[in-house]
A and B are shown apart, each in its own frame.
Chain A
């Protein structure tokens, strides 16, 4: 692995090894230990689309390990607006940084960037494409809570069509033998490429519009945001948003150890009264983004963590 564009760039063994390293990163991410194993390394944070969470999470990951970060700056005032191609921007980064993180509104931008340069490229979201580092932190959270990634019953809920986090996550979970239920309004169902690939690989999939009809069998509910702009009119949006909203009373029949996840930020899809239930893991999940990214950075920059920490 020289770049991480989609989860297909990682074998199951590599995923497990990254999660194991992430586990070791916990005290460093919490500031309880300082281990500057990436000192002298430079990361280019190329966010062609606004993002606070993912961008800062990468920045925290790099700085906790002693590295430094270059930010692209406001896209509306940078050279990108003046019509510079992604190819040209990447050529510059190849000279400035040791590794690049890219989020771009166009699908395929991360793959394109990795073809354009020598340094490793990490996809932090390309249009409605993939978001593999989100998947790594999701997997880390699931393993942390359930002790395994294998044989779980997972429901992915909400905007499955444009929600890139669920695209990457569904494939990864399937590889570890989880059963998947896709719950969405029909206009926001999982893209056919993804469903086809999953079915071809023999995964057990249920697609439904029935919101949490079978909550008692689930180990994980992964909620995503349903955005107003995906709908032709306000009325249509409100109908759907009203249905796809999880409240504490929906959880009465859930398994004790069932966890609720969300890539955040949320809008209305998880009511605040869910936050205080033991099922709510979304804030913890967000913190795990830092350790998952620390582990990935070490991996792509070829730093032997075992050796460096001892």
Chain B
């Protein structure tokens, strides 16, 4: 967590801080975490602040909620360089990173409407294979279609 990013919003007592989100992607991140519709969880957003690593970045603070590694790995699709701190009693209790594995299992569905996995009754897991990390290229393990990264947000499981 950079000093600058921290100073713009007040420190939180308990919760999760997600730093190094590509500038402009924080709303998508909240969407992916299912937090956009939340009317209870206090959330602070910092957008477009200067960052050594990214040029510009977004930062999110989620109060009173510790995000699990599984939830965080969902972010790999749009914020693979995010660094995460779990805060307990104003201190960083744990540091986590978002890891893009070799395959995203049951994180998002293939967006191709004629894919076999488009039938919600089919029980096998949704699998998107990571063909390249930079730039990110994901293909459905079944139909082989390249996935539009921006559109995946609408296909989260």
Contacts and interface: CB of A to CB of B under 8 A. Distances in A.
Contacts of A116: 124
A107 interface: yes
Contact of B146 (A112, A126, A193): A193
The dominant DSSP class at the B interface is loop
Contacts of A105: 114
A94 to B, nearest CB: 14
A111 interface: yes
B143 A87 contact: no
A168 B141 CA distance: 17
Contact of B115 (A6, A106, A193): A106
A108 interface: yes
A195 B6 CA distance: 46
Given A87-B123, A116-B124, A193-B146, A107 B141 contact: no
A74 interface: no
B151 interface: no
B143 A85 contact: no
A150 to B, nearest CB: 26
B122 A193 contact: no
B143 A108 contact: yes
B138 to A, nearest CB: 12
The dominant DSSP class at the A interface is mixed
A108 B115 contact: yes
- Contact size class for A? 20 to 34
Nearest to B125: A115
Contacts of A127: 114, 143
A112 B117 contact: yes
B143 A129 contact: yes
Contacts of A129: 143-144
Contact of A193 (B117, B123, B142, B145): B145
A192 B114 CA distance: 17
B78 to A, nearest CB: 22
A37 interface: no
A87 B124 contact: yes
Interface string B131-157: 000000001111111100000000000
B119 interface: yes
B121 A85 contact: yes
Contact of B124 (A106, A107, A115, A193): A115
A104 interface: yes
Contact of A106 (B116, B121, B139, B144): B116
B121 A107 contact: no
Interface in A161-212: 192-193
Interface in A100-119: 104-109, 111-112, 115-116
B122 A108 contact: no
A232 interface: no
Given A85-B122, A116-B124, A111 B114 contact: no
25 contacts: A6-B144, A85-B122, A85-B123, A86-B119, A87-B122, A87-B123, A105-B114, A106-B116, A106-B119, A106-B143, A107-B142, A107-B143, A107-B144, A108-B110, A108-B115, A108-B116, A108-B117, A108-B140, A111-B116, A111-B143, A112-B122, A112-B124, A115-B142, A127-B114, A193-B146
Interface of A: 6, 83, 85-87, 104-109, 111-112, 115-116, 126-129, 192-193
A-B interface, 4 closest residue pairs, ranked by CB to CB distance from nearest: A108-B142, A108-B143, A107-B143, A108-B116
Interface of B: 110, 112, 114-119, 121-124, 139-146
